[in-house]
Amino acid sequence: MSNLNAASRFDEIYHATNRAVRAYITAKCGRVADAGDIFQETYLELYRLLVKRGADYITNEKALTLRLAKQKIARHYSLMERLKMFISLSATHDNGDEVDISDFDAHGFLTEDIAVDKVMVDSTRQLLQSKPQAVQKIFVFIYDMGFTLAETAQALSLTESNVKNKLYRTLKELRKILT
C-alpha cells in the first residue's frame, strides 16, 4: 500500500473517531496529564497498522481505534509501574523538600505566558491539580474538548447534576483565588 493511501485513510479515520477516542482516553486514564501522550500513541499505532496491513484491513474503524486506545492505556500504566521498580521517581529539591518527578507534566506549561498573568495561571493550575482526577477530567471535557455537561456526564458515567456540582464548586473556588 502506498503511503499516500495510508495517509488518506488515516485522515478519514482520525476525523471520524478522534473525539470519541479522546473522550474515552480522558475518562479512563489514571492521570489527566497522561491523556495527550496516550492519544498520540494510539493514532501512531493506527497509522503503523494502515501502512503495514493496508486501508482495506480496517472494517470497523471506531472499534479498532478504541481497542488500540485501551491497549495503549494498559501499556502506559504497566510501563510506569515497571519503571518505578528500576528508576527513582523522586528527588530532593534545593530547599530539602522531597519532590515526586512523576507529578510534573511536561505539557502542562503554557507557552503564551507572556500574554497571561503568570500568577493567575499558576494559581489556577495548582488548584486544578489539587482536585481529584474526576474534577480534572470534567475541566478537560468541558473547556478543552468542548463537551456539554450532558456529554461529559455520559463519558464519565456520572449524573449531570454531579458534574455540575463539581464544576461549579471548583469555579467558585477559582473565582475566590483569582479575585
Q: How far are the Cα atoms of 6, 10, 65, 177 from residue 1, in angstroms, in the given order?
A: 7, 13, 20, 56
Confidence of residue 6 (pLDDT cuts 50, 70, 90): confident
Sign of CA dihedral 127, 129, 134, 136: positive
Please check whether residues 55 and 119 belong to one and the same domain. no
Residue 98 within any structural domain of the chain: no
Q: pLDDT tens for residues 41-65? A: 999 999 999 998 888 888 888 888 9
Residue 133 within any structural domain of the chain: yes
Mean pLDDT of the 65-86 span? 76
Q: What is the pTM of this model?
A: 0.62
Provide the number of structural domains found in the chain.
2
Phi and psi, residue 2, nearest 5° = -75, 155
Dump the DSSP string for 104-146.
Answer: --TT-S-TTTTTS-HHHHHHHHHHHHHS-HHHHHHHIIIIIS-
Please check whether residues 163 and 117 belong to one and the same domain. yes
Residue 170 within any structural domain of the chain: yes
Residue 162 within any structural domain of the chain: yes
Residue after which a domain boundary falls, among 86, 117, 144: 86
Spatial distance between the Cα atoms of 80 and 92, rounded to a whole number of angstroms: 20
Please check whether residues 61 and 132 belong to one and the same domain. no
Q: pLDDT tens for residues 165-178? A: 999 999 898 888 76
Could you tell me which residues come within 8 angstroms of residue 153 by beta carbon, excluding any fewer than 6 positions away?
159, 160, 162, 163
Confidence of residue 5 (pLDDT cuts 50, 70, 90): confident
The three grid cell numbers given for residue 132, joined into one nine-digit string: 481529584
Beta partners for residue 99, in sequence order? 91
Residue 135 within any structural domain of the chain: yes
Spatial distance between the Cα atoms of 164 and 152, rounded to a whole number of angstroms: 10
CATH number at residue 77: 1.10.1740
Please check whether residues 74 and 123 belong to one and the same domain. no
Residue 82 within any structural domain of the chain: yes
Residue 70 within any structural domain of the chain: yes
Residue after which a domain boundary falls, among 86, 119, 136: 86
Please check whether residues 79 and 134 belong to one and the same domain. no
Q: Which of 14-28, 47-61, 67-81, 124-138 has the lowest mean pLDDT?
A: 67-81
Structural domain that includes position 72: 3-86
Residue 91 within any structural domain of the chain: no
Q: pLDDT tens for residues 95-133? A: 666 655 555 544 444 343 333 456 667 778 888 889 999
Please check whether residues 35 and 82 belong to one and the same domain. yes
